[in-house]
Structure 1
Amino acid sequence: MRRSFAFKCTLLVIGWLLVAIASAQIPARTFWPASFVALTLPVALGLNLAAALYWLLRNWRVAAVPIIVAVLTWPHFQRGLALHPLHSAPAADLPGQRVRLLSANVRIFNVYPQLHADNPQSPDKMIRWIAANPADIICLQEFYNEPRKSKLDKNVMSSVERIGRQTGRQVFVSKTLTNWMGGEFGMAIFSRYPIVRRGTISFDKLSQNHAMYADLKLPGGDTVRVFNFHLQSMSMEEKDIVDSYSSKAGLRAKGLGLMRRYKRGLVARSVQIDTLMRRFDKSPYPLLLCADLNDLPYSYSYDQLADHFQNAWATVGTGVGATYNGRLPFVRIDNQFAGPQWIVDDFKVHYEIGYSDHFPTSAVYRLR
């Protein structure tokens, strides 16, 4: 009787797992509840592995069922928990053009006093670290550029000058707003390779959540296209999320409102990623993608990208690879993706750089 019950539970878990995988492929704008079902995927994956272990100890023939399911769904497991403990960066003399890429949501370089109250030097330190990074290409989300206050003051340089011109990088800034003092908000791509073409993609209206791309001419003559994009923000305060799961009272007070806001974000991101996927399909060049997805690895947005591109962390990383610098654990919303023409040699989350609420990520790619 016990084995019969356990077998039924195993079948239920497998069914749950398959439904969750299918749900991740349904855009929220079509049927938003599917996106919430997809978020349960890591639990279903874990329970299936537990079922496989249980049946290995009880009945190896039955164990074959959850084991086969685990093998077939392993790429989905890797999305949230990558396992490459023996990976090491390959030698630099391997054939193929190597490209070093840095991506970071810099939170407007903490320009407002409340953002750098705990560390007044963080704006300067962040810009200095990025400028000194050996990356060939730098993609920044939530970028801010404050121009020189005076052309006579040689010691006060803008972020564009410090990260770009001073380091020999060409600059493409996609501006969404210019304030009263001339400060520019938006996103930016910096490149040691010549920028031969550039463009901006807005989602309905141009805002901080948009996309930009640059075509870069590599030394060997190849042209590659780099996309930098920032999808719809979750519009949820970290404190509200923590309060919602800290107590029953917090869940009652905050839960419903958080779900409504999260749903609106899911719908917007599903539209935005579909817009971008159509643009990716039209690219005549090998693609590299940098993104603040504002979405988890078990979302429709991530699923669409992972079905067509290599996620750098899932390909060579080990662990969760969390990129959110805050009180919410295990949250990876910043990602880099590469087209099939690339080999991912290395990927790193820079936990030592905690100036923003996002940790920077860097990767090394090699063109096949």
Structure 2
Amino acid sequence: MRRSFAFKCTLLVMGWVLVGIACEQIPAYTFWPAIFGALTLPVALGLNLLAAGYWLLRRWPVALLPLALAVLTWPHFQRGLALHPLRLTTAAEPATAGPVVQVLSANVRIFNVYPQLRNDGLQSSKEMVRWLAESKADVLCLQEFYNEPAGTKSADGNVFRAMDKIGRQAGRESFLSKTLTNSAGAEFGMAIFSRHPIVNKGTIQFGKLTQNHGMWADLRLPSQDTIRVYSFHLQSMSMDEKDIVDSYSSKSGLKKKGLGLLRRFKRGAVLRHAQIDTLVNRFAKCPYPILLCADLNDVPYSYSYDKLADGFQNAWTSVGNGVGSTYNGRIPFLRIDNQFAGPRWQVRDFWVNYEIPYSDHYPTTATYQLKPKQ
């Protein structure tokens, strides 16, 4: 009877895995409860592995069922917990078969310009700008960017002269996709900086141009290959970190905050899923090898991530080890910042810059090598 009960539980877990994967492929604007089915997928995948282990000890032929499912769904498991034990040390120098490009992506949180984000002497703002200016990366994609050009009415001197410091003064070309210029002349938006010539560029709007949009730049490599780099920032979850922590810390917190959080989470998911559809349609028309840098504001078990994973390699999943969380806050294990690469690229290395804690997002850096055209 115990084995019969265990077998039924195993079948239920296997069904749960399949339902979770199906939920990943349903956009929230079609059926929003599917987002919660997708979020349970990591638990189902873990239980399926436990079931395989149980049956290997009890009755190995039965273990073939959950083992076969684990093999088929291994890419989904890797989305949440990448395992590449042979890559625990930094990757070896790339071969010389094709050009190599290093890309840094970061949500810089407007360099902490707002009063509630500042610290003594604007130290975090200065350190972030300095670190980016000195980065050895070929390409920098910065979301939630802030710049005070010459002539801005500011009491902070040239601390936020970010376009000049990270761009021209560091020997990079730059493209600023502005969403707002305030009354003092300061600029908000996203930016791409490149040590390679920018030969074309553009912006992708999701309706009205806001911080949530996409941008792209075509870069000419020394090999004379042209590549396209996209950077985008999707709709935020619209939830305050304190409210989330309060909601799962106590029953009273859940009653007080739960319903409001659910409404905001649903709204954010609906908007993100529509935005990612817009972007994927644009990617399909691109004639060049593609690299993507994104603040997805979504987890690896979501429609947004799944749409990208269908056609692109996730850099962390390809070469990383562990969870690879990028959120610098009280909610653990969140990887909402990602880099993806098209099929022409080989991911050589990828890491999260945990030593740079000046934003609520940790920067990510990846090294790619362009493979010969088939």
TM range (shorter): over 0.9
The equivalences for 1:111-190 within 5 A come to: 111-117=113-119, 120-149=122-151, 156=158, 158-190=161-193
User: What displacement does 1:112 show?
Assistant: 1.4
User: What displacement does 1:94 show?
Assistant: 3.3
The 1:118–1:45 alpha-carbon spacing in structure 2 relative to 1, beyond 3 Å, is farther
Runs of 4+ in 1 over 6 A off after TM superposition: none
User: Would you say 1:208 and 2:211 are equivalent positions?
Assistant: yes
Q: Distance in 1 between matches of 2:200 and 2:344?
A: 20
User: Would you say 1:2 and 2:13 are equivalent positions?
Assistant: no
The equivalences for 1:215-230 within 5 A come to: 215-230=218-233
- SS of equivalent to 1:95: coil
The match for 1:105 among 99, 104, 107 is 107
Q: Distance in 1 between matches of 2:148 and 2:98?
A: 38
Q: Distance in 2 between matches of 1:77 and 1:141?
A: 28
Task: Please say if residues 108 and 142 of structure 1, whose CA atoms lie closer than 8 Å, have aligned partners that are also in contact.
Answer: yes
Per-residue displacement from partner, 1:27-57 (whole Å, max 9, x unpaired)?
Answer: 1111111111100000000000010011111
Identity %: 70
The equivalences for 1:274-313 within 5 A come to: 274-313=277-316
- For these two proteins, the number of residue pairs brought into alignment is 365
User: What displacement does 1:119 show?
Assistant: 7.5
Give the AA of the match of 1:64: L
Which is worse superposed, 90-99 or 80-89?
90-99
Give the AA of the match of 1:104: A
User: Would you say 1:315 and 2:336 are equivalent positions?
Assistant: no
The equivalences for 1:37-52 within 5 A come to: 37-52=37-52
User: Would you say 1:29 and 2:17 are equivalent positions?
Assistant: no
Q: Distance in 1 between matches of 2:96 and 2:115?
A: 47
- Give the TM-score normalised by structure 1: 0.97
User: Would you say 1:77 and 2:74 are equivalent positions?
Assistant: no
User: Would you say 1:258 and 2:261 are equivalent positions?
Assistant: yes
The match for 1:91 among 84, 90, 93 is 93
Give the AA of the match of 1:73: T
- SS of equivalent to 1:204: coil
User: What displacement does 1:223 show?
Assistant: 0.3
Gaps of 5+ in 1: none
Q: Distance in 2 between matches of 1:326 and 1:148?
A: 34
Task: Please say if residues 149 and 156 of structure 1, whose CA atoms lie closer than 8 Å, have aligned partners that are also in contact.
Answer: no
Task: Please say if residues 49 and 67 of structure 1, whose CA atoms lie closer than 8 Å, have aligned partners that are also in contact.
Answer: yes
CA RMSD of aligned residues (A): 1.3
- SS of equivalent to 1:346: strand
User: What displacement does 1:92 show?
Assistant: 3.7
Per-residue displacement from partner, 1:148-179 (whole Å, max 9, x unpaired)?
Answer: 3489xxx8371000000001100100000001
Q: Distance in 2 between matches of 1:221 and 1:15?
A: 50
Per-residue displacement from partner, 1:269-296 (whole Å, max 9, x unpaired)?
Answer: 1100000000000000000000000000
- SS of equivalent to 1:121: helix
User: What displacement does 1:95 show?
Assistant: 1.6
